[in-house]
Structure 1
Amino acid sequence: MDRRHFHRLLLLAGAGLAGHGLPGGALAAPGRPEAAEASPEAIRVGFQKSSVHFVLLRQRRQLEQRFPSTRITWNEFPAGPQLLEALAVGSVDIGMTGDAPPVFAQASGRDIVYVGAEPPKPRASAILVRQDSPLRALADLKGRRIALQKGSSAHYLVLRAVKKAGLAWSDIEPIWLAPADGHAAFKRGAVDAWAIWDPYYAAAELDGGDESRPRVLHTGEGLSSNNSFYLSSSSFTQRFPAAVLALLDELTRADAWAQTDRKAATQLVADATGLPFGTAFRFLDRRPPAPVRPLTPELVADQQRVADAFAELGLIPRPVKVADIVWKPAGRGAA
């Protein structure tokens, strides 16, 4: 992928994209049980380029079909912290992030609830270095400048990498940069490493010639589960629980379709994000099948370990109990 395409990807990451609802109809599609609940006037979705399910829903217009009387809007964010800030102030109703953003949001007293999760995908994030970098092992990060988005899944990845290497957090110099700025700093050699997630990771791997492509110091494997969570607000889930469940069902339907026609799914993602087909393919290839499910006790425990790790180092304002904000809709077992 040439530099122009990569720059296009990064520029698009901050742009809001709007979808339009279809008039008329009830909340439920024919034969669906949620018809008894009033349909929301609008569902405002917050997504990132890494939000494959939401990208597919938007391209396939699944939500417009499932909620024919509801106005669906799509709002794109460069990373999870920015998305959850919008959720907290009521600008979006539901969104998807990695593991760290909801921990930081909960610790700051934001109104968020976990409503669903995808399976882990540790191969979809990495710590990258330049081809000519002397860094060969995680221990070599000592004293180095590492670009990462504060409060993101990359933040937790670096935290775990530092711990695995036997280093203290104070042994590294985190440089807080959003993906676009992180990539620019990495390319010009202003930082020694860059912690990033897909599709930016895949895009960087295929950017330019062999000499300018990054080298993977370590993926998330053995460091972070790299879980993805769907989050909403307590007010929206209380008012429209059936709509939330229906939306989660559509996310799983989108994933099931993508598993049966990977080429078509890749093309939809490429069309929606501006990624070259090859980059979108690599991005999707690192993802396992990802039905969206309620949080299990095991997943809550895993997320609690993420929260405790940040609290132990004083990186969040206060300790949090993840289970306190896990949504438990009527008729479904608690996590």
Structure 2
Amino acid sequence: MTRLTRRSFGLSALALAALAGAPLRAETVSTLKIGYQKTNLPVIAQRQRSLETALAPLGVTVDWVQFAAGPPLVEALNVGAIQLGWTGDAPPIFGQSSGAAISYVAALPPNGAGEAIIARPDSGIATLADLRGRKVAVGKGTSAQNLLIAALEAHGLAFRDVEPVFLGPADAAAAFGSGAVDAWSIWDPFLAIAEVTHKPVVLIRAPEVLRVNTWFLANRDFAAEATNTPVIEAVLAALKAAASWADSHRAEVAQALHEVTGVPIAAQTLAADRAQFGIFEITPEILAAQQDTADRFFRLGLIPTAITVSDALWTPAKG
């Protein structure tokens, strides 16, 4: 298994910066670049133009930058190609261990029942123990990899006992559908699509083994500038309002996600009904859970250096 090293992270990050034409230093922005994946709160906030409305009085516009998964989003944060963005629990750990210039700004609810390990119905796999020696699709450095590792350990197996096939969500969906892999660790809406399309065996859902959060992150240098603190605070306030609306308008959330992503309404309804919405301050308990994940990754040799998660915690700078 290839590790994400400090050197490889830096090279890919520099390449990304060159492609994006982005500066490698912080400065007051007139256009805020926000990285997102097409799911839940980011899509709702984008549809409602919540952030655009909140930032208009500050003279800041918004540029939404889409990513297929968390690891490239963290790389973009590292080089300043974006200033803010959402990821699951694992990408910032890989990034911090490799020296990425990121800060934890706020916590969001976990993926919950919307993240699971599933098996093809014709695979003969009925339990997690049956995964021994089998091919499991998973995104490298993603929250789904953390779920896979934790679930295996909870059932007496190690990560080395399965054959991980590292694929992004779209390629993993194709591999799962064709039978090229036996199982898949994945999140919504890809999980919901698979459940509706293939009627898979659900081996375990994330809450059964993990108590982790998803994250709202910032480029470290951007967040450290006092002039950017009002921008970040305005974004957080707007997201809280959007989350509150989404929590009480599930049908509208499903329809909005369907229109934006093209995912069938049945799958988006399933995903929206079990989603958790919110954005809140990072507590010591939340930090401790993220630290447990980081320690697990280091123990398994998945990250190059041990980290202290709290070292990357954002403290608002006041001018």
- Report the TM-score when normalising by structure 1: 0.83
Q: Give 1:304 shift.
A: 0.2
Per the alignment, residue 74 of structure 2 pairs with 84
Could you tell me how far apart the structure 1 residues matched to 2:79 and 2:60 are?
Answer: 21
Q: Residue 208 of structure 2 aligns to a residue in which SS?
A: coil
Per the alignment, residue 71 of structure 1 pairs with 61
1:258 and 1:265 in contact (8 A); partners too:
yes
Q: Does 1:313 align with 2:294?
A: no
How many residue pairs are counted as aligned between the two chains? 288
Q: Does 1:299 align with 2:289?
A: no
1:144 and 1:192 in contact (8 A); partners too:
yes
Could you tell me how far apart the structure 2 residues matched to 1:227 and 1:122 are?
Answer: 9
Deviates more, 1:96-105 or 1:254-263: 254-263
Q: 1:108 to 1:39 in 2, by over 3 A?
A: closer
Q: In structure 2, what residue type is equivalent to 1:224?
A: L
Which of 201, 205, 222 is matched with 1:219 structurally? 205
Could you tell me how far apart the structure 1 residues matched to 2:124 and 2:211 are?
Answer: 27
Which of 122, 127, 130 is matched with 1:132 structurally? 122
Q: Does 1:157 align with 2:143?
A: no
**After TM superposition, what 4+ stretches of structure 1 lie above 3 angstroms from structure 2?**
none
Could you tell me how far apart the structure 1 residues matched to 2:163 and 2:249 are?
Answer: 43
Could you tell me how far apart the structure 2 residues matched to 1:152 and 1:245 are?
Answer: 27
Q: Residue 206 of structure 1 aligns to a residue in which SS?
A: helix
- Report the TM-score when normalising by structure 2: 0.87
Any residues of structure 2 matched to 1:155-304 within 5 Å, and which?
155-207=145-197, 212-239=198-225, 240-288=228-276, 290-304=277-291
CA-to-partner distance for each residue in 1:77-112, whole Å, 9 max, x for gaps?
111001111111211111000000000000010000
Q: Does 1:48 align with 2:37?
A: yes
Could you tell me how far apart the structure 2 residues matched to 1:251 and 1:307 are?
Answer: 27
CA-to-partner distance for each residue in 1:251-294, whole Å, 9 max, x for gaps?
11001111232222222222222222222211111123x32112
2:111 and 2:187 in contact (8 A); partners too:
no
Could you tell me how far apart the structure 1 residues matched to 2:132 and 2:103 are?
Answer: 36
Percent identity between the two aligned chains: 41
Any residues of structure 2 matched to 1:142-153 within 5 Å, and which?
142-153=132-143
Q: Residue 176 of structure 2 aligns to a residue in which SS?
A: helix
1:39 and 1:70 in contact (8 A); partners too:
no
For the aligned residue pairs, the C-alpha RMSD in angstroms reads 1.6
**Structure 2: runs of 5 or more not aligned:** 1-26
Any residues of structure 2 matched to 1:30-41 within 5 Å, and which?
40-41=29-30
CA-to-partner distance for each residue in 1:98-148, whole Å, 9 max, x for gaps?
000000000010000000011234211011111122111111111111110
2:135 and 2:162 in contact (8 A); partners too:
yes
2:149 and 2:158 in contact (8 A); partners too:
no
**Structure 1: runs of 5 or more not aligned:** 1-37
Could you tell me how far apart the structure 2 residues matched to 1:54 and 1:190 are?
Answer: 32
Q: Residue 154 of structure 1 aligns to a residue in which SS?
A: helix
1:39 and 1:243 in contact (8 A); partners too:
no
